[in-house]
Amino acid sequence: MTTANYLTHPRGIRSWLLTLDHKRIGIMYLVSTLAAFSLGGLFAMIVRTQLLSPNGAIFTVAKDYDHYNQMFTLHGAIMIFLVLIPGVPGALGNFVLPLMLGARDVAFPRLNLFSYYLYVSGALIVILSIILGAVDTGWTFYTPYSSDPDIGSRDAVSLMVFGIFILGFSSILTGMNFIVTIHKLRPSPPNGMTWFRMPLFLWSLYATAVIQILATPILGITLLLLIMERTLHVGIFSPRFGGDPILFQHFFWFYSHPAVYIMILPAMGIMSEVIPTFSRKPIFGYHFVAISSLAIAIIGFLVWGHHMFPNGQSTLLSTIFSFLTMCVAIPSAIKVWNWLATMYKGSISLKTPMCYALAFLFLFTLGGLSGIYLGSLSLNVHVHDTYFVVAHFHFVMFGGTLMGFLSGLHYWWPKMTGKLYNENPARLACALIFLGFNTTFLPQFLLGSHGMPRRSATYLPEFAPYHILSSLGAGIQLLGFILAAAVLIHSLFRGRQSPPNPWGAATLEWSCPSPPPHDNFSTPPLVGDPYDHANLVWISDQEGYRRSQEPEARSQKSQT
């Protein structure tokens, strides 16, 4: 490739740090979230190592349990606020959204860069809070433990909470940018991008952005109130100052429940791209998948109380929340059925992104179904705050979001870097992660249903076999992640040049070269059906697919 692409135009560190190019900002998000993921993963490995022994393998005396508590808090806070929430929208979404839409950039490129630097600042403050005295409150910051230093945590809670407050603004600005971009920058008709010609990844990013804008401010206010109570003793959440600790839980989950949909919806969008592409078949039930994203975004706002059934919430509220929780299961189920139906009579290719997508289907289905137990009122009472919950949200957040993220990363990697990676080692890494994941988290369902409380530095000897198995699984996962990273890094230096469309996908980002040029599209591209794979033919000397007809000609043909 002799023409300049976005990676080489222009050159220099300054051109990266001050770039307004959505693709470069996406890459910077990717590097940052992967770094944060490594840090969060390190804390997870410390947690799992500690739990190898009933009395703790690292922190063996009671005074050191604080350090264990800090480890799981940092693992949770970093994975949630620095990896899962910004991961797919910030890294993959930023890179792919304008390309998929047929636009040259997002609506507000400067805001996009500002949002990235807010993310970096927030992340640095969080890391500073770790250095100044790691926080041990759990990522949920439940009051009064977090808000009343006299009876609760004396660590740098205010600082970490302030970092997360800043991260919230990054999330809001990204969401706003995406909404405006999708509304205003679609190529205009004729042959433009209509709402129902949008790839489903964009629908899911849109639904995510709506949640980010509406829910994140609540978290921001709540965290500010927490800091106020901690420093000024204003009575809001701590009963000692006349506050109500349950109020904090309502505020917190009003954001944090929708936030799990901020995390999972973009991953679902990736599924809706990867599964049709590697089945070489249009998505089944496009409208149902698209609308179910919005349904999840809307109903997802009304279920926060299911985190609080035995926490002193009124029976009526609990009943309503349980009912709505059961309802929110349905749109996710619709998506799973439609993905399965997409594979029916398809031409299924088990390339790495598809392997991760199938792992997603398996793990997310299991995770989603375990949510039925937690959403049911009386069953929740037994498994509430046990390892069952830990297993459930790792299945949906790790088995769901992270598998989706890895699927998307391997799917768009040739587009982002212009390099093809080695398929077989990448598939082996996927298999290791899948195997390790199940070894880690399936035993945790049993731990929970047998009554093992979460966030415990030590445990009763009868739980030991499950915990040892679980830690073993974490080791397998670590191997898998190291291998996956090695494969991708290897491809950067030794990978073959990728053709524009290596997978045979019909969305617009595959119609420009890999990596894309600085301006994406010199002229607004002709928009066709995003899942019209039959129009793509394999060109063996290019090792890629190419459109056999332009969309315009094809749409005319299909009308006749």
Minimum distance, C-beta of residue 378 to other proteins, in the bound complex (Å): 3
Least distance to other proteins, CB of residue 379, Å: 6
Q: How far is the CB of 431 from other proteins (least distance, A)?
A: 14
| Helix H or strand E segment including 247 | helix 245-279
Q: Could you tell me the smallest distance in angstroms from the CB atom of residue 373 to other proteins?
A: 6
Q: Are strands 419-420 and 536-539 parallel, antiparallel or unpaired?
A: unpaired
Measured from the CB atom, the residue of 20 and 341 that comes closer to other proteins is 341
Please give the Cα distance from 560 to 557 (Å, whole number).
5
Question: Two tokens at 330?
Answer: 């349905």
Mark residue 105 as left, alpha or beta (left: phi above 0; alpha: psi -120 to 50; beta: remaining).
beta
Closest CA to 19 of 521, 518, 523, 513: 518
Q: At what angle do helices 315-343 and 245-279 cross, to 10 degrees?
A: 10
Minimum CB separation of residue 443 from other proteins in Å reads 12
Exposed, middle or buried by CB within 10 Å (0-12, 13-18, 19+), for 540?
A: exposed
Q: Which is nearer to other proteins, 20 or 329 (CB)?
A: 329
Q: How far is the CB of 279 from other proteins (least distance, A)?
A: 7
If the CB atoms of residues 138 and 192 are measured against other proteins, the closer one turns out to be 138
Q: How far is the CB of 365 from other proteins (least distance, A)?
A: 5
* Least spacing, CB of residue 22 vs other proteins, in Å: 31
Inter-CA distances, 366 with 359, 371, 472, Å: 11, 9, 21
In this complex, which beta carbon is closest to other proteins, that of residue 1 or of residue 340? Answer: 340
- Kindly write down the DSSP assignment for every residue of 10-32, as one continuous string: S-SHHHHHT---HHHHHHHHHHH
Query: Are 444 and 391 in contact, with CB atoms under 8 Å apart?
Result: yes
CB nearer to other proteins: give 181 or 471. 471
CB 106 within 8 A of CB 20: no
Alpha-carbon gap, residue 360 to 522, rounded angstroms: 36
Can you tell me the distance from the alpha carbon of 21 to that of 104, in angstroms, rounded to the nearest whole number? 9
DSSP state letter for 497: E
One-letter amino acid at 87 equals G
What sections of 78-156 are H helices per DSSP?
85-86, 94-101, 109-131
Q: In angstroms, give the least distance from the CB of 13 to other proteins.
A: 41
Closer to other proteins by Cβ: residue 38 or 556: 556
Q: Between 138 and 425, name the residue whose CB sits nearer to other proteins.
A: 138
Cβ-based nearer residue to other proteins, 111 or 327? 327
Of 345 and 557, the one with the shorter C-beta distance to other proteins is: 345
**Least distance (Å) from other proteins to the CB of residue 491?**
21
The C-alpha atoms of residue 389 and residue 386 are separated, in whole angstroms, by 6
Would you list the DSSP string of 134-188?
A: ---STTTT-TTTTT-TTTS--SSHHHHHHHHHHHHHHHHHHHHHHHHHHHH-SPP
Residue type, 329: A
- Separation of alpha carbons 524 and 473, rounded Å: 49
- Give the dihedral sign, CA 113/117/123/127: positive
Q: Give 387 or 481: the residue with its C-beta nearer to other proteins.
A: 387
- Residue whose CB is less far from other proteins, 85 or 324: 324
Minimum CB separation of residue 358 from other proteins in Å reads: 7
